[in-house]
Structure 1
Amino acid sequence: MSEQLSGLFLKALLEKHYGVRVGGEPARLPGEGGQQVYKVELISGETWTVRLALASRTKEKLLAETGVLSFVNRSNFPAPRLKTTLTGETVFEWQPGRWGYALEFVEGNHPPKPESLSPGPMLDRASLVELGRLLGQLHKLDLVEDRAQDWSASWLEEVPTAIEWAEQAAQHPEWAGQAAEIWATLRDLPLAELKALPRVLVHTDAHEGNLVWTPPGELVLLDWENAGLDLAVIDLALVLSWLCSWEQARDNTGMLVERYDFDQEYCRAFLASYQQERTLTGPEREMLGPAIRFLDGWFAARDIKREIAAPGSSGEMARLNWLFMRSVTPEWAATLTQWAGETAPPR
Structure 2
Amino acid sequence: MEEKLIQLLKTQYGLDNVSLDFLREGGCKTYIVNGEKKYLLKVIGNAFKDTAKQSVMITGYLERKGFPVSRTILTTAGQAIVEISDDEPCLGLLQEFIEGEEPDLEKTESAEKVGELVGKLHSLMKDCPVQLVSRDKQFFIGRYLDFLRQKSYPKISDYEKFGEQLWEKVQGLPYGICHGDLHRGNLLQTKDGQIYFLDFDTVCQAPLMFDVMVMCDMTNYFNLQQEDIEITRKVYENFISGYTRHHPLSQEEKLSFYDWVAIRHFQLQATILEVHGINCIDEKFIDYQLYWLNQWMEQ
Report the TM range for the smaller structure's normalisation. 0.7 to 0.9
The alignment status of 1:48 with 2:24, answered yes or no, reads no
* Residue 2 of structure 2: aligned partner: 5
C-alpha RMSD of matched pairs (Å)? 3.6
User: What CA distance in whole angstroms lies between the structure 1 residues aligned with 2:52 and 2:13?
Assistant: 17
The alignment status of 1:186 with 2:158, answered yes or no, reads no
User: Where do 1:226-245 residues align within 5 Å?
Assistant: 226-242=202-218
**2:131 aligned to which of 150, 153, 159:** 150
Paired residue secondary structure (1:133): helix
Q: Which has the higher helix share?
A: 2
Aligned pair count reads: 293
**AA of the residue aligned to 2:143:** T
Q: Relative contact order, CA 8 A, sep 6+: which one is greater?
A: 2
Is the 8 Å Cα contact of residues 106 and 231 (structure 2) preserved in structure 1? Answer: no
User: What CA distance in whole angstroms lies between the structure 2 residues aligned with 1:145 and 1:282?
Assistant: 26
**1:212 aligned to which of 188, 199, 209:** 188
Paired residue secondary structure (1:197): coil
* Residue 101 of structure 1: aligned partner: 93
Is the 8 Å Cα contact of residues 240 and 267 (structure 1) preserved in structure 2? Answer: yes
User: Where do 1:114-133 residues align within 5 Å?
Assistant: 123-133=106-116
User: What CA distance in whole angstroms lies between the structure 2 residues aligned with 1:301 and 1:142?
Assistant: 27
The alignment status of 1:171 with 2:153, answered yes or no, reads yes
- Identity value in percent: 17
Paired residue secondary structure (2:248): coil
Q: 1:51 to 1:264 in 2, by over 3 A?
A: closer
Unaligned runs of 5+ in 1: 113-121, 251-258, 333-347
Q: 1:301 to 1:101 in 2, by over 3 A?
A: closer
Is the 8 Å Cα contact of residues 72 and 94 (structure 2) preserved in structure 1? Answer: yes
Q: 1:183 to 1:168 in 2, by over 3 A?
A: farther
Unaligned runs of 5+ in 2: none
> How far has the Cα of 1:145 moved from its partner?
5.0
Q: 1:75 to 1:84 in 2, by over 3 A?
A: same
Paired residue secondary structure (2:234): helix
Q: 1:211 to 1:318 in 2, by over 3 A?
A: farther
- Scaled by the length of structure 1, the TM-score of the pair is 0.70
Q: 1:307 to 1:15 in 2, by over 3 A?
A: closer
User: Where do 1:197-346 residues align within 5 Å?
Assistant: 197-242=173-218, 248-249=225-226, 260=229, 263-300=232-269, 309-311=279-281, 319=288, 323=292, 326-328=295-297
Structure 1, residues 119-176: CA drift from partner, whole Å, max 9, x if none? xxx8544332222112111111154351xx332241533122222334556735xxx4
* Residue 340 of structure 1: aligned partner: none
User: What CA distance in whole angstroms lies between the structure 2 residues aligned with 1:328 and 1:269?
Assistant: 23
* Residue 124 of structure 2: aligned partner: 141
The alignment status of 1:28 with 2:22, answered yes or no, reads yes
Structure 1, residues 312-335: CA drift from partner, whole Å, max 9, x if none? 8x9x89846962675245xx6xxx
> How far has the Cα of 1:300 moved from its partner?
4.6
> How far has the Cα of 1:238 moved from its partner?
1.9
Is the 8 Å Cα contact of residues 153 and 226 (structure 1) preserved in structure 2? Answer: no
- Scaled by the length of structure 2, the TM-score of the pair is 0.80
Show structure 1 runs of 4+ deviating over 6 A: 244-247, 304-308
User: What CA distance in whole angstroms lies between the structure 1 residues aligned with 2:21 and 2:254?
Assistant: 43
Q: 1:74 to 1:157 in 2, by over 3 A?
A: farther
Is the 8 Å Cα contact of residues 52 and 100 (structure 1) preserved in structure 2? Answer: yes
Q: 1:322 to 1:99 in 2, by over 3 A?
A: farther
User: What CA distance in whole angstroms lies between the structure 2 residues aligned with 1:100 and 1:284?
Assistant: 37
Point out the structure with max Rg over C-alpha: 1
* Residue 81 of structure 2: aligned partner: 91
* Residue 67 of structure 2: aligned partner: 77
Structure 1, residues 164-218: CA drift from partner, whole Å, max 9, x if none? 334556735xxx4xx5543211022344x74433222212322232222112211
Is the 8 Å Cα contact of residues 297 and 322 (structure 1) preserved in structure 2? Answer: no
User: What CA distance in whole angstroms lies between the structure 2 residues aligned with 1:292 and 1:208?
Assistant: 15
User: What CA distance in whole angstroms lies between the structure 1 residues aligned with 2:180 and 2:238?
Assistant: 20
